[in-house]
A = this chain, B = another copy of it.
Amino acid sequence: MTVNPIPTRLSSLTLEDLSQTEGMPAILPIGSTEQHGPCLPYCTDATIAEGLALRLAAVLPAVVYPTIQYGYRSNPKSGGGALFPGTIDLSGSTVIALVRDVLLELIADGRRNILIVNAHFENDPFITEGMCLAMEAAGSGANVQCIQTNWWDGLTPETINACFDASDFPGWALEHGGVTETSLMLALAPELVRTERIPSSGLEFVPPAYLRFPLKKGDVPIEGNLSPAVGSTAEKGELILKDAVESIYRACEKEFDAAWPFAIAMHN
């Protein structure tokens, strides 16, 4: 892994600058606008997706496209659900269409290697559907490799164990506003974390084994997070980021096509 010497955010490039990114993979970060309990802001998922994308872009190298900042409906079993104010719930068809359209544009621009980095649990299957539709529409002749991953997908057991030294790992669905997200935010955007509200002991929320509609207030804890942020530190956040970068880097190395190592070499 080497360091990408050129700016990696498409947002800040000009048309002329873009030519320097030719042949590079494109990274599409996807987050949400969703309450994340007492310590974390509404942009938590977007910040994590974008932060991880930028770290990956520095080593792949790659160019990072603007983060999708609105995501699929928050689910009470993984994000608190739609009843919390401020949470913006896109419908499934909208998320699917958005992902499909953006991917098709990346492909039309000649990107052959595309990496989707997601940070909002509920987005996952709708991103997959958008990706399926885009690949179908592009056709097999497009010769595109598209990787979809969540930041938690490739973490090692060691990293997970290290994060949960002060609490039990509740499963990724419940890691909403908990140790891992809080630690990631402490590493990526500490100014947005209310550290004074990090509890010293954990709540014990066990969601029901089913989903019941209509949603009712009281179905989830009124604080909005589903697991406690107890023991969160920037160091844990950095550990997660390092592990995720390595895991996803290896995935890209394995799956992306021949033009990609060439692009790396060029910048060595």
The CA-CA distance from A135 to B82 in the complex, in Å, is 13
B residues less than 8 Å from A144 (CB atoms): 213-214
A interface residues (Cβ-Cβ under 8 A, vs B): 10-16, 18, 33, 35-43, 46, 65-70, 72-73, 75, 82, 84-94, 96-98, 100-102, 105-106, 108-110, 122, 124-126, 128-129, 131-133, 135, 140, 144-149, 153-154, 192, 194, 208-214, 223-224, 247-248, 251, 255
Given contacts A18-B35, A208-B251, contact A11 B102 (CB under 8 A): no
Given contacts A38-B16, A92-B92, A128-B75, contact A86 B10 (CB under 8 A): yes
B residues less than 8 Å from A192 (CB atoms): 12
Given contacts A66-B69, A126-B125, A209-B247, contact A37 B11 (CB under 8 A): no
B residues less than 8 Å from A15 (CB atoms): 35-38, 84-86, 223-224
The CA-CA distance from A94 to B91 in the complex, in Å, is 12
The CA-CA distance from A100 to B70 in the complex, in Å, is 13
B211 touches A70 (CB 8 A): no
List 7 A–B pairs whose Cβ atoms lie within 8 Å, in order of A's numbering.
Answer: A11-B43, A12-B192, A15-B223, A18-B35, A33-B66, A68-B70, A89-B105
A129 touches B91 (CB 8 A): yes
A97 touches B88 (CB 8 A): no
Q: Which residue of B lies closest to A209 (CB)?
A: B154
The CA-CA distance from A101 to B85 in the complex, in Å, is 15
The CA-CA distance from A174 to B16 in the complex, in Å, is 20
Given contacts A96-B92, A209-B247, contact A132 B73 (CB under 8 A): yes
